[in-house]
């Protein structure tokens, strides 16, 4: 395992994690001296957001709201949104919702009063700054976007997912209120939860893994593996919602300094070609890429197996193999499809998916075992079922 000594983490300026903390958010905004606030959110949270807007108005703070982002956002979605937000010129940008809403909010905050254009800062470390305050409030337990320097958009020109990575995309303030996740439907709870588990696992087994990040990644895997099934099957179970929300947050902290690897790289084409949700794409590939990676680091994958609830076996390889079985069991128990065939991915598409996956070198370089194009083909074939 190659270990780099370079550790650089950009934490949110303030993090509040508590049931019901959403009630304190209007006061938080007032303390920033804000007069105008832009809120990106989703229709299912309308009641919560309406109460929040009412609290803002009581404090003479004007709010502009947008609910147009209902799936993974594109460059054109972003440009269209900016046409509305630029003239309003908010002091604070707030994202309340899932990963897509949080990602777009981060970019909106960066773009207001910015001379750069979006395409100028697609990539790593190209954004010059951010003039507006940014607050993120996750309403799903999955993407960890609230704690990461990453935002992902789909490029209309080639339908490829593009990453914008910058310390300026880390929010100033994060409010994690597990109560907000209670209304999330079982299928979304399951897919986003496995996405969060994948963040932790890919950080822990990463070629550039860090002991400091390992602590968060390991605890995140433990929490999500232990509580995700309950959160899916009994959405009103507050303890399960809390634990999965904390696991997701820990996974988010892994994304900046270490980031993800092969699972995410190979999942991107499933999103761009078949429009599968990001979390579902990861869940469909996770066990098969684990199997592929184990020979590169049986010890780390044995530790993963124990984190997700397996007993220690006779050796690392046997323990690591148990871990793959356990992940398959968790995915099945959460009601997530287990093969690409089940979600109508055609075998004919595999060669093109493998070509597209090879373009995601920023993540493939982190994978503990090299994935070449033919390896990607073989992994997709294994995942077909």
pLDDT value of residue 5: 61
Q: For residue range 20-65, what is the model confidence (pLDDT) as tens digits?
A: 999 999 999 999 999 999 999 999 999 999 999 999 999 999 999 9
**What number is the average pLDDT over the span 357-368?**
96
The contacts of residue 117 (CB under 8 Å, 6+ apart) are none
pLDDT value of residue 4: 52
pLDDT value of residue 6: 80
- Distance from CA of residue 206 to its chain's centroid? 17
Q: For residue range 100-144, what is the model confidence (pLDDT) as tens digits?
A: 999 999 999 999 999 999 999 999 999 999 999 999 999 999 889
Question: Rg of the chain's alpha carbons, rounded to an integer?
Answer: 20
Could you give the angle at the alpha carbon of 165 between the alpha carbons of 14 and 352, nearest 5°?
135
The contacts of residue 85 (CB under 8 Å, 6+ apart) are 38, 64, 66, 93, 108, 111, 112
- Do 185-384 and 14-181 fall under one CATH topology? no
185-384: CATH topology is Dehydroquinate synthase-like, alpha domain (1.20.1090)
Question: Tokens 């700054």 belong to which residue?
Answer: 129
Q: What percent of the chain has pLDDT over 90?
A: 92
Q: Out of 3.40.50.620, 3.40.50.1970, 3.30.420.40, 3.40.50.720, which CATH number does the structure's domain 14-181 have?
A: 3.40.50.1970
Helix (H, G, I), strand (E, B) or coil at 371: coil
300: tokens are: 């780390």
Strand partners, 154: 74, 161
pLDDT value of residue 122: 95
What is the pTM (predicted TM-score) of this model? 0.94
Could you give the angle at the alpha carbon of 162 between the alpha carbons of 276 and 281, nearest 5°?
20
Among 161-165, 190-194, 302-306, 330-334, the minimum mean pLDDT is found in 161-165
> What residue segments make up the domains of the chain, in order of their start?
14-181, 185-384
> Average model confidence (pLDDT) for the chain?
95
Q: For residue range 279-293, what is the model confidence (pLDDT) as tens digits?
A: 999 999 999 999 999
Q: Distance between CA 228 and CA 163 in Å, rounded?
A: 28
Q: Distance between CA 353 and CA 355 in Å, rounded?
A: 5
Could you give the angle at the alpha carbon of 199 between the alpha carbons of 123 and 259, nearest 5°?
35
Q: For residue range 235-282, what is the model confidence (pLDDT) as tens digits?
A: 999 999 999 999 999 999 999 899 999 999 999 999 989 989 899 999
**What number is the average pLDDT over the span 199-217?**
96
């Amino acid at each position: 395992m190659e270990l780099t000594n370079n550790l650089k983490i950009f934490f949110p300026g303030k993090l509040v994690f508590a049931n019901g903390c959403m009630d304190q958010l209007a006061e938080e905004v007032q303390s920033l001296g804000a007069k105008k606030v832009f809120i990106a959110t989703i229709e299912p949270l309308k009641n919560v957001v309406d109460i929040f807007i009412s609290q803002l108005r009581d404090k003479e703070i004007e709010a502009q709201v947008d609910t147009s982002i209902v799936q993974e956002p594109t460059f054109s979605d972003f440009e269209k949104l900016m046409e509305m937000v630029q003239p309003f010129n908010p002091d604070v940008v707030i994202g309340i919702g899932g990963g897509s809403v949080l990602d777009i909010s981060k970019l909106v905050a960066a773009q207001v009063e910015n001379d750069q254009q979006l395409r100028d800062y697609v990539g790593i470390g190209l954004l010059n700054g951010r003039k507006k305050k940014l607050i993120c409030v996750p309403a799903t337990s999955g993407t960890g976007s609230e704690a990461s320097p990453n935002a992902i958009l789909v490029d209309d020109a080639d339908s490829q997912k593009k990453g914008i990575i910058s310390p300026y995309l880390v929010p100033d303030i994060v409010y994690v209120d597990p109560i907000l996740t209670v209304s999330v439907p079982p299928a979304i709870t399951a897919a986003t939860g496995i996405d969060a588990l994948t963040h932790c696992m890919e950080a822990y087994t990463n070629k550039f893994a860090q002991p400091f990040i390992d602590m968060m990644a390991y605890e995140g895997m433990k929490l999500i593996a232990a509580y995700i099934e309950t959160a899916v099957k009994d959405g009103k179970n507050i303890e399960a919602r809390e634990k999965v929300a904390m696991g997701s947050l820990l996974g988010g902290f892994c994304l900046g300094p270490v980031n993800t690897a092969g699972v995410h790289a190979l999942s991107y084409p499933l999103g761009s070609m078949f429009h599968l949700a990001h979390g579902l794409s990861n869940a469909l590939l996770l066990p098969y890429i684990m199997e592929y990676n184990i020979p590169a680091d049986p010890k780390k994958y044995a530790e993963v197996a124990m984190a997700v609830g397996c007993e220690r076996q006779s050796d690392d390889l046997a323990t690591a193999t148990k871990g793959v079985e356990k992940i398959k069991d968790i995915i099945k128990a959460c009601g997530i499809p287990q093969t690409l065939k089940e979600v109508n991915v055609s075998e004919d598409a595999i060669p093109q998916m493998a070509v597209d996956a090879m373009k995601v070198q920023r993540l493939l370089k982190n994978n503990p075992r090299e994935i070449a194009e033919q390896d990607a083909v073989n992994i997709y074939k294994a995942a077909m079922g």
